[in-house]
């Protein structure tokens, strides 16, 4: 970093539920990607601030904040609002990663804005923020089987080793797309994600 240059802050938030009982469940896709990013950036998600586990990384002229809300999914907005107040990133420097039942398992979609859809964590965030014009990366987990309870499905673990391996590959791709976003900007990352993401 050059002397006197200004750091651009990026806030990368992965949604999930804290606690060992929820680890590696479908609803914790955001946490899974954050773990991969932290590993690639040689960072540890250990700092407690703003109701989140955090890691701060300096990368060139960027300050990257990786955050796992510890508020449970339905109150994610409380954490994100506090993080925004503390770090004050530009509105397009907040990226939220989360699971989506409306996408096939393993599919990824990136957008610069949008609604919460069926996701309670995103509903909580949008209820706390003045506008929804921030990037988000959705990680498909597929819909539950007909007649299967939705809550039980999203809080359940991946059913087979093959499904877990398939989703692990999706998490790796999501981490790569997040890196594209940091390196090249939102438009580039969206094109890389949405045009080249394989149908699965």
CATH classification at residue 149 = 3.40.50.1470
The answer as to whether 28 is a domain residue is: yes
CA-to-CA distance for 61 and 190, rounded, in angstroms? Answer: 22
Whether the CB-CB separation of 134 and 83 falls below 8 Å is answered with no
The answer as to whether 76 is a domain residue is: yes
Mean pLDDT of the chain: 93
The answer as to whether 102 is a domain residue is: yes
CA 118 to chain CA mean position, Å: 16
Band of the pLDDT at 200, cuts 50, 70, 90? very low
* Active-site hit among 27, 93, 119, 192: 27
Residue 177's H or E segment, with its range, is helix 161-184
Residues with Cβ within 8 Å of 44's Cβ and at least 6 positions away in sequence, in order, are 38, 55
What three-state secondary structure class fits 136?
strand
The answer as to whether 117 is a domain residue is: yes
pLDDT tens digits, one per residue of 144-193: 999 999 999 999 999 899 999 999 999 999 999 999 999 999 999 999 89
CA-to-CA distance for 181 and 188, rounded, in angstroms? Answer: 7
Residues with Cβ within 8 Å of 92's Cβ and at least 6 positions away in sequence, in order, are 112, 133, 134, 135, 186
The answer as to whether 190 is a domain residue is: yes
DSSP category for residue 157: B
Give the per-residue pLDDT at 197: 52
Give the per-residue pLDDT at 196: 54
Number of H helices, E strands in the chain: 6, 7
Structural domain harbouring 152: 8-196
Is the model's pLDDT at 2 over the cut of 60? no
pLDDT tens digits, one per residue of 71-81: 999 999 999 99
The verdict on whether 27 is a catalytic residue reads: yes
The answer as to whether 1 is a domain residue is: no
Q: How many domains does the chain have?
A: 1
Residues with Cβ within 8 Å of 120's Cβ and at least 6 positions away in sequence, in order, are 73, 74
């Amino acid at each position: 970093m050059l002397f006197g240059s200004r750091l651009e802050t990026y806030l990368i938030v992965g949604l999930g539920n804290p606690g060992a009982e929820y680890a590696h469940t479908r609803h914790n896709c955001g946490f899974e990607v954050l773990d991969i990013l932290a590993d690639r950036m040689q960072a540890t998600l250990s700092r407690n601030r703003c109701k989140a586990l955090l890691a701060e990384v300096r990368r060139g002229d960027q300050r990257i904040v990786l955050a796992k809300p510890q508020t449970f999914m339905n109150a994610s907005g409380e954490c994100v609002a506090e993080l925004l107040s503390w770090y004050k990133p530009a509105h397009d420097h907040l990226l939220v990663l989360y699971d989506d039942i409306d996408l096939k398992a393993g599919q990824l979609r990136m957008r610069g804005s949008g609604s919460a859809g069926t996701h309670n964590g995103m509903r909580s965030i949008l209820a706390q923020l003045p506008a929804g014009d921030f990037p988000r990366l959705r990680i498909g987990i597929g819909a539950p089987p007909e007649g299967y309870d939705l809550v039980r499905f999203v809080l359940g673990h991946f059913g087979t080793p093959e499904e877990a391996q398939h989703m692990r590959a999706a998490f790796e791709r999501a981490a790569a797309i997040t890196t594209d976003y940091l390196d090249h900007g939102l438009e580039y990352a969206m094109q890389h994600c949405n045009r080249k993401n394989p149908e699965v």
